[in-house]
Amino acid sequence: MLAYTHAACLDHDTGPDHPERPARLKAVLDALQRAWPDQVWLEAPMAQRGDLLRVHAAPLVDAVLAPVVGGLHRLDPDTVVGSGSGRAALHAAGAGLAAVDAVMDGQDQTAFCAVRPPGHHATADAAMGFCLFNNIAVAAAHARDRHGLERIAIIDFDVHHGNGTQAIFNREPAVAYFSSHQSGLFPHTGSVHERGVGNMHNVLLPPGSGGFRFRNTWLDTLLPALDAFRPQLVLVSAGFDAHLSDPLADLMLEAEDFAWITAELRTIADRHGEGRLVSMLEGGYSLDALAECAVAHVGALRA
């Protein structure tokens, strides 16, 4: 497994009380380095403007990268930028680009990008939900355009629906999106009836759902649809805020559930895409749970 991160991702300052804080990434990196001291960490490059413009409108790119003077600036009520945020966002998106290139070139089958800010709520023209650029969408568009892939799957098991990812690819049949998420939460999208051009697959989980319901939902509905799509590349929005300890949601998953879904995704990637799978960190706001789940997820990627 290849691993990507960048120190700049720790410089995205969101303020002292914000859930999406640098300590999240530090907890993940510390836990992974303790678990696998021999893991080589690669420095994520910066995404270029053209990479971002594949999925984002120019005014959003300009707004995220604009210099911030005099403290913090809010792009929306929940989404904050500081002086280091633009550079962090460029490296977060760049990690996905480098990881896609590496697995497509056969350097390894799997890659994990330990980066922040997260991305899956960012739409073509708006930053929101703690997200500046849509990192997974930037990676998918790069895989389509640079590598000529015709079937790219994005799997999103974050507790919140990836409304930005869905909106960006809603009319793009080369990219299929598969998501389980808690009902009644921000951003209040992701109904089973939101189908795009047949490429959007959403399942809502009621509050209190645990691992049994989560696994059966994927086994009965989402994994068969993913298998039928025959993805040449699997991209994962790896949010761990469905864990029972997370303060922002009410699902009851445990670390073993994330290891299980990762292993299932690897099986499908092996079947259709020569094992190619790239995972990018999204949510997860209990530091202990986030660290535990990241270790479980990466352990399955390394297996």
Residue 277, beta-bridge partner list:
110, 234
pLDDT of residue 117: 98
| Extended strands (E) in 206-256 | 233-238
Taken in order of first residue, the domains within the chain and their CATH numbers are 2-302 (3.40.800.20)
**pLDDT tens sequence across 103-121:** 999 999 999 999 999 999 9
**pLDDT tens sequence across 155-177:** 999 999 999 999 999 999 999 99
* Region at 129 (left for phi over 0; alpha for psi -120 to 50; beta for the rest): left
**pLDDT tens sequence across 121-155:** 999 999 999 999 999 999 999 999 999 999 999 99
Contact call for residues 154 and 136 (beta carbons, < 8 A) = yes
| Extended strands (E) in 130-206 | 152-156, 175-182, 200-205
**pLDDT tens sequence across 41-53:** 999 999 999 999 9
pLDDT of residue 294: 98
Torsion sign (Cα): 9, 10, 15, 18:
positive
130 alpha carbon, distance to own chain's centre: 12
pLDDT of residue 191: 98
Region 214-238: mean pLDDT is: 98
Count, in order, helices (H) and strands (E) of the chain.
10, 10
pLDDT of residue 291: 98
Residue 8 has pLDDT above 90, yes or no: yes
- The label of the residue with tokens 């999204």 reads 282
59: exposed, middle or buried (Cβ count in 10 Å: 0-12, 13-18, 19+): exposed
Residue 40 has pLDDT above 90, yes or no: yes
pLDDT of residue 61: 98
* CA–CA distance, 194 with 216 (Å, rounded to integer): 21
**pLDDT tens sequence across 61-91:** 999 999 998 899 999 999 999 999 999 999 9
**pLDDT tens sequence across 280-299:** 999 999 999 999 999 999 99
Residue 195 has pLDDT above 90, yes or no: yes
Using 50, 70 and 90 to split pLDDT, how confident is the model at 28? very high
What does DSSP say about strands 79-81 and 110-113: parallel, antiparallel, or unpaired? unpaired
* CA–CA distance, 77 with 89 (Å, rounded to integer): 18
- Catalytic (active site) residue 18: no
* CA–CA distance, 92 with 152 (Å, rounded to integer): 20
- Tell me which of 6, 12, 56, 121 is the catalytic residue: 121
Residue 212 has pLDDT above 90, yes or no: yes
Mean residue pLDDT across the chain? 98
Region 180-195: mean pLDDT is: 98
pLDDT of residue 70: 86
Residue 291 makes CB contacts below 8 A (sequence gap 6+) with: 27, 28, 30, 31
Region 223-246: mean pLDDT is: 98
Q: Is the pTM of this model over 0.85?
A: yes
